[in-house]
Amino acid sequence: MVCPQHQVDSHNDSVDLVMTYIVENESHVVFFMEVKVPADLETRSGRALADAQMRQRYEEVYPDVGHTLHAMSALGTKLCFYTASPPDGMIKPKAIQRDPYRVNDVAPAGWWSMDVLEAAGEAGLRQVVEETKSVAQSLK
């Protein structure tokens, strides 16, 4: 089952539009994806917020998951793939902590290096689909 969820998140005077898709099998989350506007790729703050939202979603669903959980952040057609695996639930890519003394990029643009409209991006997406299907089959 694919469950689209629409979120509008207000921060200060801006509005952040997020479309989240959660794929479930037998009430188990097997994949999720968040889609945001392409302009978020161009700013540190946009990428940082996208990354923070992905990690927050993992916090919401991962305690109930006993398998590798793939996820994807799409900023327009650019993709960043995430995974978390048992037993420790370590999320990859590994989070970059904010530096309290200087401005640093906590979600580098390179994380969204795959483009779904190019062969490498399509191949990456197909690989995640196949791995997700395998996880879904194991839950039956």
Residues 53, 29, 85, 111: is their CA dihedral positive or negative? negative
Count of C-beta atoms within a 10 Å radius of residue 18 = 19
DSSP secondary structure letters along 65-108: --S-EEEEEEETTEEEEEEEETTTTEEESPP-PPPSSS---SS-
Q: Whose CA is closest to 29, among 63, 80, 56?
A: 63
Task: Please give the helix or strand (H or E) that residue 14 lies within, else none.
Answer: strand 14-25
Count of C-beta atoms within a 10 Å radius of residue 104: 13
Q: Give the mean pLDDT of 17-45.
A: 88
Q: What is the pTM of this model?
A: 0.86
Report which of residues 85 and 71 the model is more confident about: 71
Q: Is the pLDDT of residue 11 over 60?
A: no
- The pLDDT > 90 percentage for the chain reads 64
Mean pLDDT over 41-62 rounds to 93
Confidence of residue 95 (pLDDT cuts 50, 70, 90): very high
End-to-end CA, the chain: 14
Question: For residue 81, which phi and psi values (nearest 5 degrees)?
Answer: -95, 135
115 DSSP assignment:
E
What is the DSSP code (8-state) at residue 109? G
What is the pLDDT at residue 63?
67
Q: What is the pLDDT of residues 16-25, one digit of tens each?
A: 667 888 888 8
Q: Which two tokens stand for residue 66?
A: 């006993």
